[in-house]
Amino acid sequence: MMDVLMNSVFMTVGPCLVIGVAFGVAALAKRNQVISFDDAKLIWTMHTKDSGCNQRKWQIIKRKKNKIVGFRCECGYEYKQKRPLFL
């Protein structure tokens, strides 16, 4: 009985927590213009899977002070971390 109760509590609270964390991460990512090399690599890997791109080469797009803001794939796909929406 207790197990069923705990399960239903977890099933209700769990997704809420996951959604909350996802929104938090998305908000942080939006604010942050600079990404790490690992982030760029991960996004590029996702791009190759999503679009069926079979290119093996990609280039990091850097800004001043060697900060990574995005990457360019051999297929022409370009990813740039969006600027913060503060005007």
Q: Is 68 in the site for Zn ion (CB under 5 A)?
A: no
Phi-psi category of residue 10: left, alpha or beta, with phi > 0 → left and psi -120 to 50 → alpha: alpha
Of the chain, the end-to-end C-alpha distance in Å amounts to: 55
Residue 79 C-beta: closest distance to Zn ion, Å: 10
Measured from the CB atom, the residue of 57 and 65 that comes closer to Zn ion is 57
CB 66 within 8 A of CB 37: no
Cβ 75 to Zn ion, closest distance in Å?
3
Q: Can residue 77 be called a binding residue for Zn ion (CB under 5 A)?
A: yes
Q: Which of 70, 73, 79, 81 binds Zn ion (CB under 5 A)?
A: 73
Site for Zn ion in 17-56 (CB under 5 A): 53, 55
Closer CB to Zn ion, residue 68 or residue 71? 71
Angstrom CA distances, 56 to 5, 27, 67, 74, stand at: 50, 31, 23, 8
Residues linked to residue 59 through DSSP beta bridges, in sequence order: 72
Which residues here bind Zn ion, judged by CB under 5 A? 53, 55, 73, 75, 77
